[in-house]
Chain A
Amino acid sequence: MIRWATYIGTAAVHGFTRNPAMSLASTLTVTLMLTLFAFFLTTDRGLQAAVGVLESKVELAAYIDDNAKVSDVLDMKKRIEADPAVARVDYVTKDQALQRLRDIAANRPDFAFTEISTNPLPASLEVKMAEAREAKRLAQDLRAEIGKGVIYDVVDNPQVVDQLLTITRVLSVGGVAVLAMMLVVSLFVIVNTIRIAVHARRDEIEIMQLVGASDWFVRWPFILEGMIVGTLGAVVALAILFAAAGPVTTVMLDFVDILPLSFGPEFVGQLVASVFGVALLVGAGGATLSVRAHLAK
C-alpha cells in the first residue's frame, strides 16, 4: 500500500515537473477559471443580499381621496392584501399622517411647523412588498383605480430594484455562459497537458500493462497530476480573491450604496469548498478523459 501510494505520488509529481511550461499553462488557465468562478459566486451572493434588503424596503403608497368612504377604503385594503406579492398593507389615516409630520418636525430643529386649522395631508394605504419585482405591476393596477373615488394618486420608486434585478439576471446568465466556456477551455488544456504526460510515459504504461497492472493503477498518477494542477489553481485563485476582496467590496458599496455586504465564515467556507471542489473535478475529469483515450487505443 505504501509503495503503491509512493509510486503514484512520485509519478504524479514527476509528471507535473517534467513539463513545466505546459503544467504552468494549465495551472494558469484553471486559476483564471476558478477566479472568475469565485468572483461570480461572491458577487451573486452580494447582489442577492442587496435584492433581499431592497425588496424588504420596497413600498407603494396609494393616496386616498378625502371624500372616499371608509368602507370603500377598507375594501381596497383587503383587495391589495389578497395579492400574493404583497407582504402588508397599512391604512394611515389623515390624523396619523399629520402626527407623523409633527414627530418628524419635533426631531428636526431646522423644520418649522406651523399649526393650521385644516389637515392638508391625505390618508394613504402603505403597501409593503413581499416580491419587489411585482411592485411595478401592482402600481399599474392601483393607478387604474385613480379617479374611481378611492385612490387619487400612487407613488412608487421601483427603479433601484429594477436595476438590481437586471444586473442579477445579466450576471447569472452571462456568468454561467462565461464559466461554461472557461470550464471547457480548462478541461481542454488539462486534457492536453495530461496527454503530453501520458506520451512521455508511454513506455512505462506499456510495461505496466504488460506485467498486469490494472487500468486504475495506470490511471491514478495522471488523475493525481490533474488534481495537483486543479489544487494549485484553486490556491492561487483564492489568494487572488482574498487579496482583492477589500477593494472590490468598497467598489461594490460605492456602486449600490446600501449593501450590508458582510460575508460570514459560513459563506467563506462554502466558497473555499466550492472552488476546491470544482478544481479537483476539472483536474481529475480532464486527466481521466485523457488517459482513457490512451488506454482505449
Chain B
Amino acid sequence: MITLDDVSKRFPNGTFALRDVDLAIEAADFVFLVGSSGAGKSTLIRLLIREELPSSGRVVVDGEDVARLARGRVPKLRRKIGVVFQDFKLLPTKTVAENVAFALIVTGHSGPNVREETDRVLSLVGLSQRRDHFPDQLSGGEQQRTALARALVNRPRILIADEPTGNLDPVTSWEIIKLLTRVNELGTTMVMATHNAEIVNALRRRVVHLDHGRIVRDEREGQYAA
C-alpha cells in the first residue's frame, strides 16, 4: 500500500529531515511512527500526502509515485488518504455535521448521498447526537472524533494520524485509539505518529522508530522504547 524506497528529504538550509529511508507498509497494516521531536515523523507523513516532495528516492502510495504525480492528480491521491492532526483543524463556523459534509462537498459529492455518508461516519464515531454543535461547544475528544469522521467520510484506503492524542487526556485518548483500531479492523491502512508510550505498548502493533531522519528500529509487535 505504501512504499518508501531509499527516500531522503533535505531542506534548503542543508539539514536532512529523512535519510535513506526504506519502508513498506501492507494494506490493512497498523503502524506506529515513534521517535523524538524532529526525528522526521511529520516529514514522512507530509511526503505521503504530497505536501512535500522527496529530495531523492521514491514514495509510492497505493500504486502512485507521488513525486511524479501531475499537480492535477494530487486531489485524487488525497481522497484515498484520510488525515487527522493533533490540532483537529476543524472549521469553527461550521457545525459537526457541516465540517464532515464539507469534505464530501468539496470533492464533488452532492444530493442525499452527502447526508447519508455524513450520518454514517458520525454514527461510527458516536457523534450523531452532537451533529448540530459547533466545535467550540465540544470537548477535545469530541473535536478529534469530528476530525476523524471528516477523514473517514470519503472512505479512504489509508488513514494517517499525526499525534492524534497529543492534546487529549488519557481517557479520551483511549476513546480515539479504540476508534482508530476499529477503523483499521474494517480494512483501512493505519499510520500513526505518536509520543504516547502507554498506547504503543498496550496495542503491540508494528513500531517504526525514527531517529535523526533514519529508521533505527522496525518491529512487528513493538514497544515504544527498545
Contacts and interface: CB of A to CB of B under 8 A. Distances in A.
A is bound by B: yes
Interface of A: 1-4, 7, 203-204, 206-215, 217
A214 B91 contact: no
Contacts of A209: 75, 78
Nearest to B147: A207
Contacts of B109: 3
B9 interface: no
Given A3-B114, A4-B105, A215-B71, A210 B91 contact: no
B94 to A, nearest CB: 9
A3 B117 CA distance: 15
Is chain A's binding surface mostly helix, strand, loop or mixed?
helix
Given A7-B105, A7-B106, A204-B91, 4 more contacts: A203-B89, A210-B83, A211-B103, A213-B107
A211 B89 contact: no
B72 A215 contact: yes
Interface string B64-83: 00000001100111110001
A2 B110 contact: yes
Contact of A1 (B49, B110, B150): B110
Nearest to A211: B103
A208 B106 contact: yes
Contacts of B150: 211
B150 to A, nearest CB: 7
A1 B110 CA distance: 6
A208 B77 CA distance: 13
A204 B78 CA distance: 16
B91 A211 contact: no
B10 to A, nearest CB: 20
A210 B90 CA distance: 12
A213 B106 contact: yes
